[in-house]
A = this chain, B = another copy of it.
Amino acid sequence: MFHAVIPAGGSGTRLWPLSRSHHPKFLHDLTGSKRSLLQDTVDRLEPLADATRTYVVTGTAHATSVARQLPDVPDANLLIEPSPRDSCPAVALAAAVIAERDPSGIMGSFHSDHLIPDGRRFVETVRKAVKLAKDGYLMTIGMTPTAPETGFGYLRCGKKLDGGMVLDEFREKPDRETAQSYVDQGYLWNSGLFVWQVSTFLDELARQQPKLHDIVREIAAAWDTPARGEVIGKLWPELPRISVDHAVMEGAAEAGKVAVVPGDFSWNDLGDWDTLADVLESDVDGNVTIGSGEVLSIDTTNTVVVPRGGRLIATVGVSDLVVVDTEDAVLVCPRSRAQDVKKLVDELKARGDRAHT
């Protein structure tokens, strides 16, 4: 049986002022689908796992919003972290809870806030990974690079398998020159999408992170009992902050236990307003509107307008700009500076401005 796990964390500060700490990226409809990115993710996984086999791991701040956006997912599948501990404890707790319910189960871990337009192709790729996971590999999906991006980790693959390759080595985010050499050597992007038998993963966790393993198993054992809240409240703070890559995957790769299936579906992490607009439909002048608010544009080209504040947004004579209107804040920046929206949020945080962050 396949179980879909969706860690839903991070605030997406580069999509400020829409994305906020209290209402981050994954809770928003950013594509005009009328579904949030989280809901889109669950919908996309539906052919693989129905709602009873869908799990979301999220923080206390977003638990209620997640619950309301996903009414079909059982409460006991919404794993609420008492405090943030990076990705390994989140993924490990999900694996352990699934193992209690379905010891031979297979799980996949999927981003809550990515855009994958071709859902069918995505599902096919995951199915290939499931097949190799049954052979005992910890599977990762490797994307074919379209450019020497410095924002991704890379995967150096080795021996061929039926439908994939053994992973020889994870490589950290490189500089531009190194990225180019990776692309030239046929390395793949590390998508951060994982598939494995929960038993394989938990065994590897026990080998590399025995304390972390024991704690999540103890929490999982109490999960479907009245002691859930008491046990997680007591044990969770003892867990280290560590990513699943550092805690498990890198060591497992060294031991030859990680394999890769190549993914050739298109995929966008919607990192900022510019890259988000790139994947959305534009009008004849290249303008993209994200939202259904009123917009009036004259002599305006290649501009991203996000009318979410209930106001008219009017532009004249502008190009390559981002204009975002929300209830309490307005953002204006060139598309080429979309990454620097993070600087605004950092500055607001430094000022102690909790209202706008």
Contacts and interface: CB of A to CB of B under 8 A. Distances in A.
How often does this chain occur in the complex, in copies?
2
Interface string A283-322: 0000000000000101100000000011111111110010
Interface in A326-344: 326-334, 336-337, 340-341, 343-344
Chain A interface, >50% SS class: mixed
A285 to B, nearest CB: 15
A311 B336 CA distance: 24
Contacts of A333: 315-318
A101 interface: no
B312 A329 contact: yes
A332 B329 contact: no
Contacts of A299: 337, 340
A28 to B, nearest CB: 18
A280 interface: no
Interface of A: 16-17, 296, 298-299, 309-318, 321, 323, 325-334, 336-337, 340-341, 343-344, 347-348, 356
12 contacts: A298-B343, A299-B337, A312-B356, A315-B331, A316-B333, A316-B337, A316-B344, A317-B336, A318-B332, A318-B334, A321-B332, A332-B332
* Minimum-distance CB pairs A-B, first 7: A317-B337, A312-B329, A316-B333, A316-B340, A313-B330, A315-B332, A314-B344
